[in-house]
Structures are given as structure tokens and as C-alpha cells.
């Protein structure tokens, strides 16, 4: 471990985290102070207890969007907001203890793509009013509807400041931005200009140069469903955001993170953020990547990042209070643009229709309805489409007794033997097709069910087999099942009603046919 490089990585990450923490704090409705202390507290404790050594944690776009919604939903009641964030932290700790983290890798990419692009668009839309020099609005629909009238009421000075910030954010040469991050350049250049010309625009306002005080969470039965729902949303989004960033960190460093330990660290950090009224967060991709590129590969870099931020707040708070909100709007618009998933957007026209439909559904639900609903609907929709594709590929055929080679060799028609062959997954999706084929069995003495080419069976398929056997028993039709040993063992283990007692099992088709 190179201590010097890790200290440098932490300092660099802090420089980037400062303007973003202020911006996210203002955008959340909790204030700039909450944003910067969220970066300090979460960044410190997530690094200390987490499972991704190179990760830098702090306020992020998705978490900020949810907190902004919580501020509106809970009428700005700080006690209830604290309860929401605290419960989210507890949920994350429980996710880690119950080892839920490993399942994030199974979320389909179109769901992640639609979700991240939707978050990016939300952040951009939420900054429209601050860009115009108007008060913030948490309703996406209301912002879009009122846009024409808001443009007429815009503060030109604020729009000029925001535009200048965006020009710096988008067009600063990479050689310069690698040395001095774009957000910091914007703050250092644009803020003095605003102060010098005494522009009539809103600023961050006073930032107390003291440690945050303890805030007692409020328990209110009237709002408990809202609190639990928002807390669960925060916990899940934080988990997804963090572990995706951990995967990015692994790909750069060649290491392997500990997802469940990381969730526990994030949960501890967010719970402590709650008790100080600070903005919760997650693993931050951009800050993590820059930390790694600057030499940060150990938790020392994340801890250093937090301590540097704390020093800035204590000693430079009066200067930060004069930062115009329009600058933060310009910074966040660039953040929103960066969050958009260009990897998927670049192949939008050529992507499979199923994946495209999932991505678009998640995208629009994320923007116009609810974040957690978007992820839930996306996962369900993607799962149903996968089931549909697997079902289509599964083949359940009734062997043709007049044309098949089996008939020519074993004279099945004369012996009144029918063979049902299943290729592919035999589960709830394909069981209907199985029933449809078996309904055509007529004038038969023996039915052979060949499941040798079945990779897996679920309980629906097993019950479907039992129903067929029960349906054939009154006609004294003999049932033979050709199955691998593991499938035979499974069927016999579930033979509580003794339905398979009269079934003959074979491990290959020639033996089954020869025994007829």
C-alpha cells in the first residue's frame, strides 16, 4: 500500500465531492450543509466499515431525488425525514447481514439502463427552475407544464451564470480537468464574478462552521407507510448504486469487493447521516474512479476525503455561502447528462425489441411515477419476457407413429405406444403446452414420457406430470418415464401421494422401448 498515493487520491476526491455535495444538498431540499456533511459522514464510515477499499461514498443523484420527494411527501418534517433515512440505513445493514448484495448482479441490464437514464433526466429537469433563477420545484410534471411561463419570468443573471458554468463543465480541455476538476473550476471562476458584480441571484446562504447537532427521529403512525416506503426505496437504490460502483472499481483495480460487507458499511454511514440531519448517499462512481486514477486503492483514501471536506467546512464556510445556486444547477445538469446510459442509447435502434421495451418502460416509470416501482416493474417485465422466450424454445412433441424412426424400429402403433418427448426447460411456462399435447392421446396402452433433455423442472411441471398419470389410471394406461437419475430422485422425493408408485423409470430410451 502506497500511503502517499492514497492520500493524494483522497484529496482529489474531496475536491470533486465539495461542489457536488453542496449541489446535491440544495437539490434535495435539506440544504447545502446537509449535503456536505452527508459526504463527510457517509464517506468516512462507509470507507471504514465497507467492503470496497477504493470506493468513495457520498450523496448521489438517485438518493437525492428520493430525498427531494421525501421532503415534499413529509411536509418538510425533519423528524420524519430523519426517521426515513435512519430506517433506510437499518435496511441496508439487514441487506448485508442477510447476504442480499450478491443478487444485484442478476438485475437485467435494460432495467439498470432505463433506471439510470431516467435518473439523469430527472436531475436535468429538476435544475430547470434554478437555471432560470426561480425557486425549485419537486414535481417533474409541474416543471414541464409551467416551463413556458417560467421562461418569461426567468432571471437573466442566473441563466447567464448557469450557462457559463455549463460551458466550463462541458468544454474544459481534459488536460486541465485532470489536474483541476471541472466543478471546482466553475466554483473558483464564476463565484467571484457573481460577487464582484453583485448580481441579484440566490446563493447557498450561511453554512455553519460547526459540527452538526444530533436530531431525534420522529415516530408518527399517520405517516408510517410513507416513511417505510421511502426508506425501502432509499435502501434499495443505495444498494444498487453502491454495488454497481463497486463492480466498476473492481474492473479498474483488478480486485474483488465484498458486497455484503459494503452494504453494512453503507448502512452504518447512512444511519449516522440520519441522526445529524445529513443527506444520505451511496458509492459514487465518478468520485471512486478519480480516486483510483489518483492512486487511491485503500480505505485510507476514503477517510482522507472525508477529513479534507471537514476541514474545508470548518475553515472556508463563509466563502462557500456565497456560491450562487445557478452554478450548482449548471454542475448538476452536467451530472445528469453524464448519468445517461450512452452504452445502451448508442445501440437503441438495433437492440432486441424485448430489451428495448423493458428499458423504455423503466425509463418512463422512473421519470413520471416512482423509482422503486420502475425497478420492480422492470424486473418483473424482463422476467416474463425471459419466461416467454424459454417457453417458445422448449419443444414438447408427441412422436409420430407413422413417420418416426422409432416407430419403424419398435412398431409402436401396433403396440399402441405413444412417446412424449420434452426438449428444453419443463416448468410453469411450458406445462400448458405439455397438457395440450397429452390431451390428444387416444387409443393408447403405454405412454412413455422422455425427459432426458430437460435441464430443470419446477413444481408446476411435477404437478402436471402427476395430473397426467392420474388421468391415465382409470384407462389402465401404463406410464413409463425416461429420466436422469437426479430427476428420478426428485420425483420420488415428492411422491407423498404415491402417484409415481405405478410408474416405471428408465435411464435411457432403448431400454424403455425394449421393455414394452
**Domain ranges in the chain?**
3-338, 395-514
At 207 the pLDDT is 75
Banded pLDDT at 403 (limits 50, 70, 90):
very low
Per-residue b or e along 336-374, where b marks 16 or more CB atoms closer than 10 Å to that residue's CB? bbebbbeebeeeeeebeebbbbbbbbbbebbbeeebbeb
Between the CA of residue 309 and those of 10, 184, 314, 376, 455, what are the distances in Å?
Answer: 10, 13, 9, 36, 55
d(CA 44, CA 310): 10
Pairing of strands 57-58, 282-283: antiparallel
Which of 497, 437, 504, 427 minimizes the C-alpha distance to 462? Answer: 427
In this predicted structure, the answer to whether residue 161 has a pLDDT above a threshold of 90 is: yes
Region of 225 on the Ramachandran plot (φ > 0 left; ψ -120 to 50 alpha; else beta) = alpha
- State the average pLDDT over residues 202-227: 82
Secondary structure of residue 417 in the 3-state scheme: strand
**Arithmetic mean of pLDDT, 97-118:** 83
Q: What pLDDT score does 404 carry?
A: 53
Helix or strand (DSSP H, E) at 157 = helix 156-171
pLDDT tier at 407 (50, 70, 90 boundaries)? Answer: low
How far is C-alpha 184 from the geometric centre of its chain's CA atoms?
A: 29
Averaged pLDDT, 12-40: 87
160 Cβ partners below 8 Å, 6+ apart?
none
> Considering only 157-166, 283-292, 423-432, which range has the smallest mean pLDDT?
423-432
Whether residue 32 contacts residue 261, with contact meaning beta carbons closer than 8 Å, is answered with: no
Higher confidence at residue 401 or residue 347? 347
Q: Give the helix ranges, DSSP H, for 172-298.
A: 174-177, 182-196, 224-253, 259-275, 285-293
Cα separation values, 23 from 39, 203, 313, Å: 12, 11, 15
Task: Give the pLDDT band of residue 254 (cuts 50, 70, 90).
Answer: confident
Grid coordinates 433526466 are at which residue?
121
**Section 159-180 average pLDDT:** 90
User: What are the backbone angles phi and psi of residue 254, rounded to the nearest 5°?
Assistant: 75, 20
Phi-psi category of residue 504: left, alpha or beta, with phi > 0 → left and psi -120 to 50 → alpha? beta
Query: Residue 59 has what pLDDT?
Result: 93
Q: What is the pLDDT of residue 502?
A: 81
Note the pLDDT tens digit of each residue in 262-290: 999 999 999 999 999 999 999 987 788 77
Q: How many CB atoms lie within 10 A of CB 79?
A: 15
Q: Is the dihedral of CA 8, 191, 340, 244 positive or negative?
A: positive
**3-class DSSP assignment, residue 256:** coil
Judge whether 451 and 483 are in contact, CB under 8 Å: yes
Whose CA is closest to 101, among 214, 261, 248?
261
The answer to whether residue 509 scores a pLDDT higher than 60 is: yes
218: left (phi over 0), alpha (psi -120 to 50) or beta: beta
Average pLDDT value for residue range 494-507: 85
C-alpha distances (whole Å) from 472 to each of 256, 494, 512 are 55, 20, 18
CB-based contact 236:75 (threshold 8 Å): no
Classify domain 395-514 by CATH number. 3.30.750.24
* pLDDT for 437: 64
Instruction: Name the range with the highest mean pLDDT among 261-270, 311-320, 486-495.
Output: 261-270
- Of 69-83, 264-278, 500-514, the range with the lowest mean pLDDT is 500-514
Q: Is the pLDDT of residue 441 over 70?
A: no
C-beta atoms surrounding 257 within 10 Å:
23
Q: Is 351 left (phi over 0), alpha (psi -120 to 50) or beta?
A: beta
Indicate whether this model's pTM tops 0.75: no
CA pseudo-torsion sign 246, 250, 251, 252: positive
DSSP letter assigned to residue 478: E
The pLDDT tens digits for 30-55 are 988 899 999 999 999 999 999 999 99
Q: How confident is the model at residue 387 (pLDDT cuts 50, 70, 90)?
A: confident
* pLDDT over threshold 70, residue 408: no
pLDDT band with cut points at 50, 70 and 90 for residue 401 = very low
State which of 12-21, 160-169, 209-218 shows the largest mean pLDDT.
160-169
Q: What is the arithmetic mean of pLDDT over 462-482?
A: 85
pLDDT, mean of residues 60-78: 89
Place 211 in a pLDDT band, splitting at 50, 70 and 90.
confident
Contact status, residue 233 vs residue 373, Cβ threshold 8 Å: no
CA-wise closest residue to 501 among 471, 481, 475: 481
Strands 446-453, 417-423: parallel, antiparallel or unpaired by DSSP?
A: parallel
- At 357 the pLDDT is 92
492 closest CA partner among 464, 472, 462: 462
β-partners of residue 397 are 421
Residues 435, 468: Cα–Cα separation, whole Å: 8
Compute the average pLDDT of residues 443-460: 85
Amino acid at each position: 500500500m502506497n500511503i502517499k498515493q492514497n492520500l493524494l487520491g483522497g484529496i482529489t476526491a474531496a475536491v470533486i465531492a465539495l461542489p457536488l455535495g453542496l449541489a446535491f444538498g440544495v437539490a434535495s431540499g435539506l440544504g447545502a450543509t446537509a449535503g456536505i456533511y452527508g459526504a463527510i459522514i457517509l464517506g468516512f464510515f462507509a470507507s471504514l466499515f465497507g467492503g470496497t477499499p477504493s470506493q468513495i461514498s457520498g450523496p448521489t443523484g438517485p438518493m437525492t431525488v428520493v430525498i427531494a420527494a421525501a421532503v415534499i411527501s413529509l411536509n418538510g418534517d425533519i423528524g420524519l425525514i430523519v426517521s426515513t433515512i435512519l430506517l433506510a440505513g437499518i435496511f441496508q445493514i439487514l441487506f448485508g447481514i442477510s447476504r442480499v448484495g450478491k443478487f444485484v448482479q442478476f438485475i437485467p441490464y435494460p432495467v439498470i439502463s432505463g433506471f439510470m437514464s431516467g435518473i439523469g433526466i430527472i436531475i436535468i429537469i429538476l435544475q430547470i427552475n434554478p437555471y432560470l433563477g426561480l425557486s425549485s420545484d419537486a414535481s417533474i410534471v409541474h416543471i414541464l407544464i409551467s416551463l413556458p411561463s417560467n421562461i418569461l419570468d426567468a432571471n437573466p443573471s442566473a441563466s447567464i451564470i448557469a450557462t457559463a458554468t455549463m460551458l466550463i463543465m462541458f468544454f474544459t480541455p481534459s488536460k486541465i480537468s485532470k489536474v483541476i476538476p471541472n466543478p471546482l473550476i466553475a466554483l473558483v471562476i464564476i463565484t467571484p464574478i457573481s460577487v464582484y458584480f453583485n448580481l441579484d441571484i440566490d446563493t447557498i446562504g450561511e453554512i455553519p462552521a460547526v459540527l452538526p447537532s444530533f436530531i431525534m427521529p420522529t415516530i408518527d403512525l399517520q405517516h408510517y407507510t410513507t416513511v417505510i416506503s421511502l426508506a425501502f426505496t432509499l435502501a434499495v437504490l443505495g444498494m444498487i448504486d453502491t454495488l454497481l460502483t463497486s463492480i466498476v472499481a473492481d474492473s479498474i483495480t483488478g480486485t474483488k469487493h465484498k458486497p455484503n460487507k459494503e452494504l453494512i458499511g453503507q448502512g452504518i454511514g447512512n444511519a449516522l447521516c440520519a441522526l445529524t440531519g445529513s443527506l444520505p448517499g451511496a458509492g459514487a462512481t465518478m468520485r471512486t474512479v478519480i480516486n483510483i486514477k489518483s492512486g487511491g486503492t485503500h480505505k485510507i483514501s476514503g477517510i482522507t476525503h472525508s477529513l479534507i471536506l471537514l476541514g474545508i467546512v470548518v475553515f472556508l464556510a463563509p466563502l462557500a455561502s456565497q456560491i450562487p445556486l445557478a452554478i450548482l444547477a449548471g454542475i448538476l445538469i452536467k451530472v445528469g447528462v453524464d448519468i445517461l446510459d450512452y452504452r445502451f442509447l448508442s445501440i437503441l435502434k438495433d437492440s432486441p425489441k424485448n430489451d428495448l421495451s423493458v428499458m423504455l418502460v423503466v425509463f418512463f416509470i422512473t421519470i413520471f411515477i416512482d423509482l422503486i416501482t420502475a425497478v420492480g416493474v422492470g424486473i418483473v417485465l424482463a422476467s416474463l419476457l425471459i419466461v416467454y422466450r424459454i417457453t417458445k424454445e422448449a419443444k414438447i412433441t408427441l412422436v409420430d407413429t407413422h413417420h418416426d424412426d422409432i416407430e419403424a424400429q419398435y412398431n409402436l402403433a401396433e403396440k399402441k405406444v405413444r412417446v412424449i418427448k420434452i426438449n428444453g426447460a419443463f416448468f410453469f411456462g411450458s406445462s400448458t403446452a405439455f397438457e395440450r399435447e397429452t390431451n390428444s392421446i387416444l387409443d393408447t396402452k403405454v405412454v412413455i414420457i422422455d425427459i432426458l433433455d430437460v435441464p430443470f423442472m419446477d413444481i408446476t411441471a411435477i404437478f402436471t406430470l402427476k395430473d397426467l398419470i392420474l388421468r391415465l389410471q382409470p384407462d389402465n394406461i401404463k406410464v413409463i418415464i425416461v429420466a436422469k437419475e437426479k430427476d428420478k430422485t426428485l420425483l420420488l422425493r415428492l411422491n407423498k401421494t404415491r402417484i409415481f408408485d405405478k410408474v416405471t423409470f428408465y435411464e435411457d430410451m432403448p431400454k424403455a422401448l425394449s421393455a414394452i
